[in-house]
Structure 1
Amino acid sequence: MAPYKRNIDDVLARINFPLFTVQMLTNRHVLVGGGGGSAKTGVANGFEIFELSHDGNKFHVEEVTRHETGPNVVMNCAVALKNNHTYLVAGQESHCQLYNVNSELVAQENGDIENLGTDHHTNGKLRHRKSAPTSKNNDINKNLRKRLKFILSPSDSVQTDFNEPEPLCRVVRVHPEGNLMATGGTDGTIQMWRFPSLKPLTKLKGHTKEIDDIDFSLFDNYIITVAKDGQAILWDCVRGKEIKKLTWNQPQGSKYLYKRCRFGIIEGEKKCALYMLSNPTGVAKKQKSFLQQWQPEEETIKRVAIFDESISALAVRDDGRFVAVGTMFSGSVSIHTSFNLQIVLKVPGAHAMFVTGLEFLPVLNQENQTVCSVAEAAVLSISVDNQVCIHTLPYRKTIPLWLAIVILMITLFLTFLFCSYIGL
């Protein structure tokens, strides 16, 4: 496990409201949401969008957009790209609100912002402005810093929970292909929607208590749901039918509840692994908590990581290589390799309170350059302590292939000499 000491550089931003949800809006723009609720506390509700950069030594963020949502706290959200347009859906009280996300390219010089025009399809890629023909204007353009500003335009809103007296949209998730949306609330019902039209489709009824989490699989039309009734149900999201309930042999005399669920790609295969957090309840609270890797088709647990406290947040990187977990009491964050669930980075006390959300920075590749190139992995974390933090896993040292071959040949040669010396 990589040694790590928490320092002030981990804190990217402090927001003036508690944070409950975090998403990557583009490859280098972070969106966080939360708030203080409808009570007259003076604490705002809404979103903040930051641009993420790296100076060679540490990460920095700069606020580019703030959008307040009035009396409605943002408890959860999802970002979706459909037909080259970005959408944001957010659970706000009993309703799910759809936003159109438009980007506007601006240039900034000494604190002044120049509008370079609205571009609805940039999706994080800066559109370069042509240089002016005169040398004077060329000098001016050299001092202009180009950046994206985002405009969140409210569109449709649908009620997703009807459980009186306080209906609440607990979870909203959009299918990776952007054609389906699922919502779950305190009434225990999963409502499927056509996306982005928000036309209601099937209702999935299998839980008896409020929904804690939902996730879609990229393959096999799976959707997984977990709730406070202790059940984890695997569904066919196209047919709207239950496939199976996922059960396991819990420690004798204890009761566990699933907290979070996420699918992750299995590298080199068109299959998904399923990751779930499971916490003890009641008199069993002193027992261990688990990060479980399931093979959903076989209804078996392949690997387990054990925690000494309850765990509250879960994220899987888009290439499936790493899994991140946040804890409830110590506010710690850990990164695990997916193939064996071993911890490769642990950040004790990353937050002063429980971790409410985690999000990996996107993977670096030739077509899609991101700011995570300085580390093997980087994960964002948020909490009700109002802080946005980032935790990076440095590139781990490996032996080059040629050196490994040389070492192997030398070892074999020395073994042969030793065997000849002793007459074998």
Structure 2
Amino acid sequence: MAPTRRNKQGLLARVNFPLYTVQMLTSRHIMVGGGGGTAKTGVANGFEIYELSHDGEKFIVEEVIRHETGSSVVMNCAAFSDRKHSYIVAGQESHCQLYNVKKELVVNSTENIENEGTNGVRHRRNSYKKESTSKNNNYKRLTFLIKSGDSVQTDFYKDEPIQRVVRICPSGKCMATGGTDGIVRLWNFPSLQLKHTLKAHKKEIDDIDFCPFGAYLVTIAKDGLAILWDYKTGKEKQKLSWKQPEGSKYLFKRCRFGPVEGEKNVSALYMLSNPTGVAKKQKSYLQRWNPEDGSINRVSAVDESISALAVRDDGRFVAIGTMFSGSICIYIAFSLQKVLHIPGAHSMFVTGLEFLPVSSEKEHTVTSISEASVISISVDNQVCVHSLPYRHSMPMWLAILIIVVVLFLTFVFCSYLGI
């Protein structure tokens, strides 16, 4: 039975614009983007970056930088960093805007930073005690200098061209975009030179993702198709199909690759399928696919339409966000067993999810007392975090000891009765 709880302490921040995209910029920095669009409503457009920490009891965030994008709403984004460079790409109407990101350490005072900001951001006083640089309670913190780079048009739909999704491959050499014209375009990155044009979908692209191993790219669209590609050559590998319930029609909504835990260089593909038309009262599905042979090996039913999907970087957990109730669920990736349900995490539909990275020796990641934590955003302007407590299990040695004791007591009891 999955534990269920109300989202009472999960709120990290309130932003003054609707949120559509979330990205982990580093292992402890979250970027969220959105806006009110071109309408003169007074609602800003842009993205904000927060630094995340844990005080031993709960997660807290501190705003690092806010970048406004004028009249262009940020509907989607991706980030890439290597040892030399860091980049952000953001979908702004029909174009993809490249931002060069420079990381910089600054020294701040800890004396007057504990307050409740205008965006509902809780600032911290003691988070950096160990990083104090002097006896004057100063500490080093990482900030970002954002500089606009090239912008390229990625969608050419005749009525209202809009880029719907952008992803960067793990190596950082290729970027994929898709939008309302139904065409997936592959770009050399970060030069943004067009490499391949994939004309396989007849309707708007809903999602794209690169496989962490090999050269797989998956694309899904409102025409109902899900297609695997070799993104290095631009060639189609296969179309994915499944046996839908009789009399129903389903469309793929989201797709994400993830590594298979415990197996080297092996990946799984997770997809969301929602019913359409008269079938809307039917269940939606979280599916786990094998990209090698195009088969489904796990399915979990969901009682309402699903709007967001995330896979943790080690492949151990999968999270979904729902359309109508704004709920969040976390599943064990291998079995798709639900282990956490947070009903009503948001007051409106969930627009994005990102797992906090697992601890590694290479990066100073945020740690907590939870087994997994996922960030969620919504058009309700809220950034939330949801944690899965460690599930208590009986050690193997204790289980064996209990079995031995029970057998011994049974033998003694039977001997006493003369059986």
Give per-residue Cα distances to partners, 1:135-194, cap 9 Å, x unaligned: xxx432xx1132111111111111100111211111100001111110001111110011
Separation (CA, whole Å) in 1 of partners of 2:2 and 2:56: 20
Shift of 1:61: 0.7
2:118 alignment counterpart = none
- Report SS of the residue matched to 1:101: strand
- Report SS of the residue matched to 1:284: helix
Q: Does 1:333 align with 2:322?
A: no
Q: Does 1:159 align with 2:153?
A: yes
Distance 1:246 1:139, change over 3 A: same
Aligned ranges 1:359-370 → 2 under 5 Å: 359-370=354-365
Separation (CA, whole Å) in 2 of partners of 1:101 and 1:420: 77
1:116 alignment counterpart = none
Distance 1:24 1:255, change over 3 A: same
* Code of the aligned partner of 1:62: E
Distance 1:95 1:403, change over 3 A: same
2:9 alignment counterpart = 9
Separation (CA, whole Å) in 1 of partners of 2:418 and 2:208: 67
1:210 alignment counterpart = 204
2:277 alignment counterpart = 282
Separation (CA, whole Å) in 2 of partners of 1:417 and 1:273: 52
Which stretch shows the higher mean deviation, 17-26 or 372-381?
Answer: 372-381
Q: Check conservation: 2:54, 2:366, Cα contact below 8 A.
A: yes
Shift of 1:9: 1.7
Separation (CA, whole Å) in 2 of partners of 1:11 and 1:405: 43
Separation (CA, whole Å) in 1 of partners of 2:7 and 2:259: 32
Q: Does 1:176 align with 2:170?
A: yes
TM-score of the pair, normalised by structure 1: 0.90
Q: Does 1:244 align with 2:206?
A: no
2:97 alignment counterpart = 97
Distance 1:419 1:222, change over 3 A: farther
Which stretch shows the higher mean deviation, 281-290 or 98-107?
Answer: 98-107
Distance 1:106 1:90, change over 3 A: same
Separation (CA, whole Å) in 2 of partners of 1:29 and 1:282: 40
Aligned ranges 1:9-408 → 2 under 5 Å: 9-109=9-109, 110-111=111-112, 138-140=134-136, 143-269=137-263, 270-408=265-403
Q: Check conservation: 2:230, 2:236, Cα contact below 8 A.
A: yes
Distance 1:411 1:204, change over 3 A: farther
* Code of the aligned partner of 1:315: A
Shift of 1:392: 0.3
Separation (CA, whole Å) in 2 of partners of 1:95 and 1:154: 13
- Report SS of the residue matched to 1:351: coil
Shift of 1:378: 0.2
Distance 1:71 1:405, change over 3 A: same
Separation (CA, whole Å) in 2 of partners of 1:400 and 1:369: 30
- Report SS of the residue matched to 2:368: helix
Give per-residue Cα distances to partners, 1:226-285, cap 9 Å, x unaligned: 000000001111111111110011111111000000001001222111100000111111
Separation (CA, whole Å) in 2 of partners of 1:32 and 1:325: 18
- Report SS of the residue matched to 2:233: coil
CA RMSD after TM alignment: 2.1
- Report SS of the residue matched to 1:41: coil
Shift of 1:414: 5.0
* Code of the aligned partner of 2:47: F
Distance 1:52 1:17, change over 3 A: same
Q: Check conservation: 1:361, 1:372, Cα contact below 8 A.
A: no
* Code of the aligned partner of 1:264: G
Q: Check conservation: 2:228, 2:237, Cα contact below 8 A.
A: yes
Shift of 1:368: 3.2
Separation (CA, whole Å) in 1 of partners of 2:390 and 2:106: 35
Paired residues, what number? 402
Q: Check conservation: 1:362, 1:372, Cα contact below 8 A.
A: no
Which stretch shows the higher mean deviation, 192-201 or 405-414?
Answer: 405-414
Separation (CA, whole Å) in 2 of partners of 1:72 and 1:130: 40
Separation (CA, whole Å) in 2 of partners of 1:253 and 1:201: 41
Separation (CA, whole Å) in 2 of partners of 1:242 and 1:386: 39
- Report SS of the residue matched to 1:178: coil
* Code of the aligned partner of 1:279: N
Separation (CA, whole Å) in 2 of partners of 1:315 and 1:151: 28
Separation (CA, whole Å) in 2 of partners of 1:351 and 1:285: 21
Separation (CA, whole Å) in 2 of partners of 1:198 and 1:414: 73
Shift of 1:415: 6.2
Separation (CA, whole Å) in 2 of partners of 1:35 and 1:358: 18
Separation (CA, whole Å) in 2 of partners of 1:419 and 1:321: 46
Distance 1:390 1:416, change over 3 A: same
Separation (CA, whole Å) in 1 of partners of 2:360 and 2:70: 39
1:117 alignment counterpart = none
* Code of the aligned partner of 2:349: F
1:118 alignment counterpart = none
Q: Check conservation: 1:97, 1:154, Cα contact below 8 A.
A: yes
Give per-residue Cα distances to partners, 1:58-96, cap 9 Å, x unaligned: 111110100000111000000112343211111110000
Q: Percent identity?
A: 65
Shift of 1:374: 1.9
2:119 alignment counterpart = none
Q: Check conservation: 2:174, 2:188, Cα contact below 8 A.
A: yes
Q: Check conservation: 1:372, 1:378, Cα contact below 8 A.
A: no
* Code of the aligned partner of 1:48: E
Q: Check conservation: 2:20, 2:34, Cα contact below 8 A.
A: yes
Shift of 1:349: 0.3
Q: Check conservation: 1:364, 1:373, Cα contact below 8 A.
A: no
